[in-house]
Amino acid sequence: EADRKECTQVTHVHEWDPGSVIQAIDHYCRNKEWAMNVGDEKGCILDSVVSEVNPATVLELGTYCGYSTVRIARLLPPHAKLITLEFNPAVAAIARQVIAWAGLEDKVQLVEGASGDFIPRIKEQFGVKTFDLVFLDHWKEYYLPDTKLMEECGLLRKGSVLLADNVVCPGAPDYLEYVRSSPRYESRYFKSHLEYTKVEDGLEKSVFLG
Ligand SMILES: CCNc1ncnc2c1ncn2[C@@H]1O[C@H](/C=C/CNC(=O)c2cc(-c3ccc(F)cc3)cc(O)c2O)[C@@H](O)[C@H]1O
Ligand SMILES: [Mg+2]
């Protein structure tokens, strides 16, 4: 189980390595302008789940500026692949720069488009059979339809892990109800706080049982 050990990061800001990119974004969003990155507190839980799963294939829904993309990709084993979907081209362009600054381009495939259009095409277009880990952080009302779509497209296998951000704030009630009541998932809530605030939020980790 992903434990909640204190996640301390010592990074050297003198070079653009993933840690310094993460630190720079967190510093800016905490002190200058709030933004909807998963952030450092929930980010540590994300880190522990990624490390525990040690995935060869990862799907991220909702790249935004690439903060969580960098957090995940920096922990991936060699040859592991992260596909991240983002349908806003302006935002995708920013994410590409952030991923490049972190030096993680060769681990990340950023695809511009909507999840609903791409999920059915991932198998044949990207040669991925199933995903070991899926990070859901896009529009909250799409968590459930996209999860059902991934099931239907055979993108989940016994043991695939879904990790969903914001299950409390803004909330994804229909998704939570589904993964917590379905016999096909083993679900667990990791209590935390909304990025850069004291408001409660958390991540739901759901293991697909096949
Ligand atoms: C159409 C669904 N498919 C999609 N396919 C691909 N990309 C998608 C999709 N949806 C949205 N996106 C992209 O993902 C990003 C959207 C993320 C939505 N996230 C939130 O709304 C969110 C919102 C909050 C929040 C919390 C409290 C507040 F007071 C205000 C905001 C906190 C978070 O951590 C969040 O993740 C954007 O870049 C958008 O262009
Ligand atoms: Mg989020």
pLDDT score for 3: 47
What is the Cα 187 distance to its own chain's centre? 17
Based on the residue annotation, tell me whether 165 is a catalytic residue of this protein. Answer: yes
Residue 34 near ligand 1, beta carbon < 6 Å? no
pLDDT score for 15: 52
Whether pLDDT at 190 is above 70: yes
User: Between the CA atoms of 201, 159, 182 and 85, what dihedral angle is there, to the nearest 10 degrees?
Assistant: 60
* CA distance readout (Å), 9 to 20, 22, 134, 205: 10, 10, 24, 23
| SS3 (DSSP) at 77 | coil
User: Which of 57, 64, 71 has its CA nearest to residue 102?
Assistant: 71
> Is the pLDDT higher at 107 or at 10?
107
Based on the residue annotation, tell me whether 26 is a catalytic residue of this protein. Answer: no
- CB burial readout 16-43, b (16+ within 10 A) else e: ebbbbbbbebbeebeeeeeebbbbbbbb
**Mean pLDDT score of the chain, rounded to an integer?**
94
Residue 114 near ligand 1, beta carbon < 6 Å? yes
- Cα separation of 46 and 115, whole Å? 21
Q: Which atom of ligand 1 is nearest to the CA of 137?
A: 36
pTM (2 decimals)? 0.95
- Cα separation of 34 and 157, whole Å? 36
23-66: pLDDT as tens digits: 999 999 999 999 999 999 999 999 999 999 999 999 999 999 99
* Gap from CA of 119 to ligand 1 centroid (Å): 17
